[in-house]
């Protein structure tokens, strides 16, 4: 792809004025101090050095895109994630100067009246969730055909990013993070809410500057059901089919019962997914690595994962027991509430759970590089896209290239196909066990007959 050259100085300044990001006096205060022949990238750098523009804003303006910086009362500062459900941006309330995460939903999710009603019902339910371990929802609104959520901005990595950067977590830290998630799930459970997409990428860390400690926060309550919002009320409510031959979820963390039925799951399904997350935090591996998506779903239903203490022998026996109980195939064999899990983890948590590092490669380190470095990627499929072109998943509030598991994703397999495969696997195992037992019993009978014959003579 040919490199896209930045616009010239005059075009850049015209774009900046059209954007409405700065007042004329702010533009003049910088532009007038630079030589007339200063290139547009130098003007952009000077504005960034004064804190008047962000890298994201400068890149868009340099690539000739002066619009889509404002949505309602919010000024777009940066683009944080993309995927199948929408875009997520870092934004600032223009009056309150509060930094938030702005999640703009894809119009494809909100096309029908029923989908819009479901969206409103879900966001009203989420608005009741005010808890230290749940990302707070501040607002939900609509501009034209764009629906958006305004959420608390979380400044740390998600747990998927953290493990990919640092490897398996210290045992006490992993126990504390899972305990905090359990506390958030318990509160949501008491409000009648089930998340349906618990996984490391949906658990964010809020870093507190004064103490250096990190609190984990669950993101994206209420969004999972939007995937099949257009399913008729009287057809398919017992399935998680999003369209023909597909179901919704993240196969590495999906409970056996959710693979069959999205709507009839309860909090114990979230606990299974949290158990898979715990496994990942402790080992750096998902429970069933490799294979196709369908094979993963079948294995969640029919197999036990490699024992967590085999991958990490120094684990306390209590931790191993907790992980195994969370990942029990039968919901009745798991913890029945998140509160029970939190109580079991309490003696195992680290006294200081802030021992994680925020170090990560920055795409645009402060004061380094040129804003036009990213202009080469500023074509129609670049990260510098119009807000109205939303086709992406609501990722955690960090850079999308560090979050390979987008939030609330997609295509898995038909429910009927999953059931057939599971039943076929179960029948195959039953036949093998029956054949083996027949051989063993037959051998014992023959041996007894031989012994009787020998003893009789």
**197 catalytic residue (yes or no):** yes
Q: Which of 160, 176, 197, 220 does the annotation list as catalytic? A: 197
How far is C-alpha 66 from the chain's CA centre? 30
Q: Which residues contact 136 (CB under 8 A, 6 or more apart)?
A: 129, 130, 151, 152
What region does 392 belong to: left with phi over 0, alpha with psi -120 to 50, or beta? beta
Give the dihedral sign, CA 444/445/447/448: positive
The single-letter DSSP state of residue 180 is H
CA atoms of 70 and 67, how far apart (whole Å): 8
Across the strands, what pairs with 158?
204
CA atoms of 206 and 186, how far apart (whole Å): 19
CB 54 within 8 A of CB 78: yes
Q: Which residues of 45-56 are buried (b: 16+ CB within 10 A; e: fewer)?
A: bbbbeeebbbbb
Nearest to 200 by CA among 448, 405, 434, 441: 405
CA atoms of 54 and 86, how far apart (whole Å): 22
Q: What is the DSSP string of 243-275?
A: STT-B-S-GGG--HHHHH-STT--HHHHHHHHH
CA atoms of 360 and 350, how far apart (whole Å): 24
The CA distances from residue 405 to 104, 158, 367, in Å, are: 19, 11, 30
By CB atoms closer than 10 A (0-12, 13-18, 19+), residue 396 is buried
Catalytic residue set: 197
């Amino acid at each position: 792809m040919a490199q896209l050259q930045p616009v010239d100085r005059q075009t850049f300044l015209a774009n900046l004025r059209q954007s409405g990001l700065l007042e004329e006096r702010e533009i003049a205060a910088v532009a007038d101090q630079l030589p007339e022949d200063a290139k547009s990238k130098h003007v952009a750098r000077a504005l960034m050095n004064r804190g008047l523009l962000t890298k994201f804003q400068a890149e868009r303006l340099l690539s000739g895109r002066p619009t889509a910086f404002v949505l309602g009362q919010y000024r777009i500062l940066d683009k944080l994630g993309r995927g199948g459900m929408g875009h997520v941006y870092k934004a600032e309330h223009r009056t309150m100067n509060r930094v938030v995460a702005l999640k703009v939903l894809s119009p494809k999710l909100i096309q029908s009246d029923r989908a819009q009603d479901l969206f409103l019902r879900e966001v009203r339910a989420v608005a009741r969730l005010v808890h230290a371990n749940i990302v707070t929802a501040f607002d939900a609104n609509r501009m034209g055909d764009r629906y958006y959520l305004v959420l608390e901005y979380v400044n740390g990595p998600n747990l998927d990013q953290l493990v990919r950067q640092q490897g398996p977590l210290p045992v006490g830290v992993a126990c504390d993070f899972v305990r905090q998630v359990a506390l958030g799930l318990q509160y949501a459970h008491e409000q009648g809410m089930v998340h349906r997409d618990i996984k490391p990428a949906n658990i964010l860390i809020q870093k507190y500057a004064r103490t250096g400690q990190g609190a984990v926060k669950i993101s994206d309550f209420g969004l999972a059901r939007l995937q099949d919002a257009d399913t008729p009320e009287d057809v398919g409510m017992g399935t998680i089919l999003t369209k023909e031959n597909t179901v919704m979820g993240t196969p590495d963390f999906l409970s056996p019962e959710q693979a069959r039925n999205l709507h009839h799951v309860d909090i114990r399904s979230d606990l299974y997914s949290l158990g898979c997350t715990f496994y990942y935090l402790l080992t750096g591996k998902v429970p069933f690595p490799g294979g196709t998506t369908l094979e993963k779903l079948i294995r969640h239903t029919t197999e036990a994962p490699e024992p967590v203490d085999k991958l990490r022998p120094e684990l306390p026996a209590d931790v191993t027991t907790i992980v195994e109980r969370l990942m029990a195939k039968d919901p009745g064999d798991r913890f029945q509430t998140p509160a029970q899990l939190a109580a079991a983890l309490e003696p195992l948590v680290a006294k200081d759970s802030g021992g994680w590092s925020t170090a990560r490669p920055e795409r645009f380190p402060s004061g380094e590089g040129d804003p036009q470095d990213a202009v080469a990627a500023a074509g129609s499929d670049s990260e510098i896209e119009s807000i109205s072109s939303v086709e992406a998943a609501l990722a955690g509030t960090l850079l999308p290239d560090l979050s390979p598991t987008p939030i609330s994703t997609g295509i898995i397999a038909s429910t009927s196909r999953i059931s057939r495969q599971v039943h076929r696997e179960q029948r195959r195992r039953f036949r093998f066990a029956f054949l083996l037992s027949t051989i063993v019993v037959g051998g014992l009978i023959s041996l007894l007959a031989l012994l009787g014959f020998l003893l009789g003579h």
